[in-house]
Amino acid sequence: MGEPIAMAPAMAGGVQPLVTAVSQRPRKRANPIFFASLFLVALVVVAVGSFALANSMRTPEAQVRRYLDYLAQGNASAATAMVDPGVDNDERVFLTDEVMASATSLLQVEDVVDRDEGSASKKHTVDATVTVGDVHFTFPFEVQESKPTLGIIKNWTIQDALVVPIAVRIKDVSTFSIGGVTAPVSDDNYFPYTSPIYMLYPGVYTVSAADPGDYIEADPVIFKAARDEYKYGADPLRYVTVDTSYSDSLLAAAVEAMVAQTTSCATPPGNLDTVCPFGLQRTDLTVLEVKQMPTEAKEWADSTSEFHDYAFFKVQQGAGTPIYTLKSTVYATLKFDENGKIVVDSAGKPQFWLRYEVE
């Protein structure tokens, strides 16, 4: 029989002590270098993916679409900030949000195609097919690769703004208006009318004579600003002509001026005025009367600021000599100041140069 096993003495109350076995096996410690490397790899993957996504969105075609979206929305300020037109300030006065807001129709994008898609070239040509009103045209954008962001993300710059150069001609009016913005008209005495030129973003605009006054009538013109010259190889400059006519009050003023001068020429010593017919500029006239007064302000087809009508005088040069009728045409030419505005007197009546031609 074996030796008896010694038992631990019982604790008070007869409860045996609890014996717990503790494992002495060593634990493996996590490697921080491994996790750091894993994090860096994930970061690189995300960064590369982000750069790839950014580059896929920064293509020549995408830049052109972004620019066209600004124009289609009437956001002139954003379009100008993105692609500067490269013209003087006085030529860009109509490139504003307010002017574009006045357009009855703006550019609509139909298609955008990169001719050089997939090419490694730093210069691409992107064709944008758009519509302005009922005018359909394709505009070629030259897009140049520029300095990349962070040396990786590509950037593309559009070289030429999509603007329409215009020259506005309004006879006898010095300024015109588009969308509440006014500017001087182009010089009427030269062809082509290129002094000055203004730029418009594509759209359908109303061109009006600005403050024509009481003596000029001018109907507004609807103008479609488009760049369809590529169809014909033509000049992109567009000429806008606002037709004008003289009001009835101006024609009445011209008749009044002719009548007043004719009356003066038949009333000594007014007949000595050099403006009067030469045959009346005498001091020995025994009869000097107006036989027929001007009654109408007639216009010449080639000189719309000059009016004319007949003026007949009854004349006798000394007693006993025959009385004859001096037939003449009186001309009243409207006066303009250096700014092209009609000259008026203190009462607001238009002023004229007068002359006579004897038949």
Output the pLDDT for position 235: 83
Residue 120 in this model has a pLDDT that exceeds 70: yes
Q: Is 13 left (phi over 0), alpha (psi -120 to 50) or beta?
A: left
Residue 119 in this model has a pLDDT that exceeds 80: yes
State the Cα–Cα distance between residues 113 and 125, nearest whole angstrom: 9
Output the pLDDT for position 50: 46
Output the pLDDT for position 300: 82
Output the pLDDT for position 90: 95
User: For 106-125, what is the mean pLDDT?
Assistant: 94
Cβ neighbors of 298 (< 8 A, separation 6 or more) are 307, 308, 309
Residue 103 in this model has a pLDDT that exceeds 50: yes
pLDDT digits over 267-312, tens only?
999 999 999 999 999 999 999 999 999 999 999 877 678 999 999 9
Judge residue 335's burial from the number of C-beta atoms within 10 Å of its C-beta, 0-12 exposed, 13-18 middle, 19 or more buried.
Answer: middle
Task: List the chain domain ranges.
Answer: 44-246, 248-358
State the Cα–Cα distance between residues 12 and 5, nearest whole angstrom: 21
- Cα 357 to its chain centre, rounded Å, is 46
Output the pLDDT for position 191: 57
220: which 2 tokens? Answer: 């507004």
pLDDT digits over 68-82, tens only?
999 999 999 999 999
Where is pLDDT greater, at 59 or 21?
59
Please give the share of the chain, as a percent, with pLDDT higher than 90: 67
Where is pLDDT greater, at 157 or 152?
157
State the Cα–Cα distance between residues 58 and 63, nearest whole angstrom: 7
Output the pLDDT for position 51: 47
Question: 180 near 96, Cβ under 8 Å?
Answer: no
Residue in the structure block whose two tokens are 């973003």: 201
4: which 2 tokens? Answer: 């008896």
114: which 2 tokens? Answer: 């990169």
Please give the share of the chain, as a percent, with pLDDT higher than 70: 81
Would the pTM count as exceeding 0.85?
Answer: no
CA end-to-end span of the chain? 172
Cβ neighbors of 348 (< 8 A, separation 6 or more) are 214
Question: 265 near 279, Cβ under 8 Å?
Answer: no
Where is pLDDT greater, at 21 or 84?
84
Output the pLDDT for position 190: 56
Output the pLDDT for position 228: 84
